[in-house]
Structure 1
């Protein structure tokens, strides 16, 4: 009888947490047991859930809804409850000051959804078994579980190192020997050893169904195998991630600027040297020796030898010596600037008076970062100036602090007006250095006798002492103050 249903492709090489339903003939009344590592050794305790409790739990899930639940919906509810325990209670907004390359503003991807997460996790877990099979085979290969397989791998690796053009053949050879040949043998199995060859048909139609890869059924043993391996893979990745961060982050993140500067110089000099001499290095033999050394290091006897000689301690000592050498080199040759960066900031004091009140006095309006000149975009749009009414409310830029005790009036009013190409204003080169708007309607209403002198007046409009009073609605003057960058461990002072 040929079974047309093919088994799911999952990791079957190691024991799994067993999920079993026991009958009343057992000594205990357990119905749903999870076996831990201690159970396999015979000295562990078994955490179990009775059949009555399991039935009551499933019944409570079904009572929450009007219509009966299918097994898939029950699994949805179970995974949703699991994810609810994992998710944080705080909501995170994407409009955070930290730049996140995973934000939807860079790549348009669906947002987070708890039901979608639960469904995708179950689908992913049912199909990830092939990756864990490949992982376990690599572990067995490099751990020398079957020495003939490891030596065969080293032979192929040697041929590829000596002739890199064989890399083009490798994908096709792997497809033939690891995919198509096993698939053919599954449909045309070889004769069993206990049957004479002349009685076993070697030709004719296939004797078995084709082998396919299908997902593991939910809540099955294979499904829990994948969950176990996924759990262990997450732990392996977390440990590897933490070790790499602990090894690479301190010397490269400029927490110790002198050490990172020395390492930067070494790396850039090495990169320039390799850019010139890389073609002269025997890369084939380098990869050949490195591959053989890495593979042979996984042999059990070599592992025992490394453990006996305390190689880990030796490597740790060499790492400490290398770090000490770099720190000593950084202290001897690297000199960093310790004084903070100093800049100058500006603020404009704006005053206002009624447009046609020639005898009125200008009244203080506010302190603004903008000049609010006649041709500024905000002035043309009809917007009011923005700022603060008091000097004390002006704050330094973020990440900076005041280096001067007070604000200083900029006496070079003509210079900053020319730098900003401000037009339609009258500039005081003496006194309080006000830069006042010109009222052009007054110019148009002047007598014809003065029209002949208009060009001369406009030419000397910068010198307010000789020009007639045509002051407009707004005037401003510039104040400056020094700021310095706040160190990481420093406190901001105002």
Structure 2
């Protein structure tokens, strides 16, 4: 195992520290990952299934062209990879093809290879050999902000102060960074200073031809110490991201996702008023001094003495009053934020359909969401009405529940007939409020029904009850009336992620 890789970048100063946060989710993950009895049984069953599948595939792959088994010495070097790929094809579901907003797939524009274990392994090795530059930068930033070298941190404060006082200097930073961080070190590497001699007078001279090769950044060698340093730093960064992700969800998600609706409403009002105020008065805020003071506070808080002083002040003055502040906020929110806690209510309707039988009696047919009027599309197409036969089988819409115990008969039949612009019917304004079909002379009892020996009769709609001609026709084969009932939204007490 090599110690270092010449030209390679890796963080050799020490491990990138892992953020330690008291997160219940991280503790639960540790407890879930502990080898319990249930997990042992599940993992054992999965291993046994994968082992059986592997033995079957090995039996197929280790046969030669003549059907004879090939010895161990004749195995191809990619047998493991091919075996694992076949296993993953059986275990991992096929991914859906990504689509754009118009519904067309992206396959004609971007070709992305599917998941493959050999490709994943090769890409990880290449990635880990080259990610050292990120960890070196991260370690230098931590060393800079933790005041390990006072001269470096004070220089950072000076540069930050100049940029805050004159924001136009921010355009100089990338140019100066290229000069001081790339070009000058590269030139010095090609024109190194002569070795120190016994002479007390020394002066660096950039003259003369280059006497050293140009510096290049090379990937670190696999299985070297730098390679494993990068793996350790990558492991710690993954833990840092997981901790930060869990803390953000724990601290920020509850007041923002309206799980506590009064608190989220109060925050919404505060943000709305702040947005309106900043929209008007943002030009009056001294942003340069705000950023200057804020940046100095952040950088000085990394000093060990200042950090200890801030921690002591928090423990003495802020921590004892946190519960008092939370209780005051909860009291203010409960008193001043008034919410409509009643669920939303709507009115639903159902039509009771009855059909005239051969004896001249009205037979209950079914309860339908449509009035099945003479000009309805299913009626013209000679289709049977759809619905349920019993009143008790009528269900509320999805995500709604009944708000009333009984159905109420709609006594204003004329109104819903006018709203739907229904023609060819007779409205009963008293009694049971039935709406009858009108059967005119020389017309089919049902639109679209064929007479024997004749073709389909085309009917012209007759005048309706609105035009004062109720007596011109007889009652048709169908009648209906409208029932209404109130429903309310179902109150969901659990979030979608809870079981």
| Both structures adopt the same fold (TM-score exceeding 0.5) | yes
CA contact (8 A) 1:457 1:467 kept: no
Q: Does 1:408 align with 2:421?
A: no
Q: Does structure 2 conserve the Cα–Cα contact (< 8 Å) formed by 1:461 and 1:467?
A: no
Deviation, structure 1 residue 107: 9.1
**Aligned ranges for residues 117-196 of structure 1 at < 5 Å?**
117-194=120-197
Structure with bigger RCO (C-alpha 8 Å, 6+ apart): 2
Q: Does 1:275 align with 2:283?
A: no
Q: Give me the whole-angstrom Cα distance separating, in 2, the residues matched to 1:126 and 1:371.
A: 72
Q: What's the counterpart of residue 422 of structure 2?
A: 422
SS class of match (1:458): coil
8 Å contact from structure 1 (residues 262, 329) kept in 2 = no
For the residues of structure 1 that align with 2:76 and 2:9, how far apart are their CA atoms?
32
Residue 234, structure 1, aligned to residue 238, structure 2: yes
Query: Which deviates more from structure 2 when the two are superposed, residues 297-306 or residues 427-436?
Result: 427-436
Q: CA deviation at 1:183?
A: 3.1
Report the secondary structure of 2:417's partner residue.
Answer: helix
Whether the 8 Å CA contact 1:144–1:150 is kept in 2: the answer is yes
Contact 2:425 2:465 in 1 (8 A): no
2:389 is aligned to: 389
TM-score, reference length from structure 2: 0.69
Q: Distance in 2 between matches of 1:477 and 1:256?
A: 45
RMSD value, Cα: 4.6
TM-score normalised according to structure 1 size: 0.69
User: Residues 188-227 of structure 1: matches in 2 within 5 Å?
Assistant: 188-194=191-197, 202-227=206-231
Instruction: Go from structure 1 to structure 2 and tell me whether the alpha carbon gap of 1:339 and 1:424 turns closer, same or farther (over 3 Å shift).
Output: same
> What secondary structure does 2:264 align onto?
helix
1:370-414 C-alpha deviation (Å, 9 max, x unpaired) = 334454455567765443333222222233221211222222222
- Decide whether the 8 Å contact of 1:410 with 1:480 is kept in 2: yes
SS of the equivalent of 1:169 reads helix
Q: Which runs of 5+ in 2 are unaligned?
A: 17-54, 63-73, 446-458, 495-499
Q: Aligned-pair distance for 1:298? A: 0.4
Q: Find 2:76's aligned residue among 65, 68, 77.
A: 68
Counterpart of 1:11 in 2: which secondary structure?
Answer: coil
Work out the CA distance in 1 between the residues paired with 2:414 and 2:433. Answer: 9
Structure 2 residue 486 is matched with structure 1 residue 482: yes
Contact 1:460 1:467 survives alignment (8 Å): no
Q: Return the alpha-carbon distance in structure 2 between the equivalents of residues 263 and 202 of structure 1.
A: 62
C-alpha displacement of 1:93: 10
Give unpaired runs (5+ residues) of structure 1.
17-59, 95-100, 446-453
After superposition, what is the alpha-carbon deviation per residue over 1:154-194, rounded to whole angstroms, capped at 9, x for unaligned?
11100000001111222222222223333333333333435
* Equivalences, count: 418
Offset from partner CA, 1:254-275 (integer Å, 9 cap, x none): 3333333333222222222222
d(CA) in 2 for partners of 1:457 and 1:488? 51
Equivalence for 1:299: 303
CA gap of 1:340–1:122, structure 2 versus 1, over 3 A, is same
TM-aligned CA distance change 1:471 to 1:207, over 3 Å: farther
- Please give the alpha-carbon distance, in whole angstroms, between the structure 1 residues aligned to 2:442 and 2:318: 87
Look up the SS of the partner of 2:474 in the other structure.
Answer: coil
SS in 1 for 2:346: strand
Contact in 1 for aligned 2:427/2:465 (Cα 8 Å): no
Look up the match of 2:399.
399
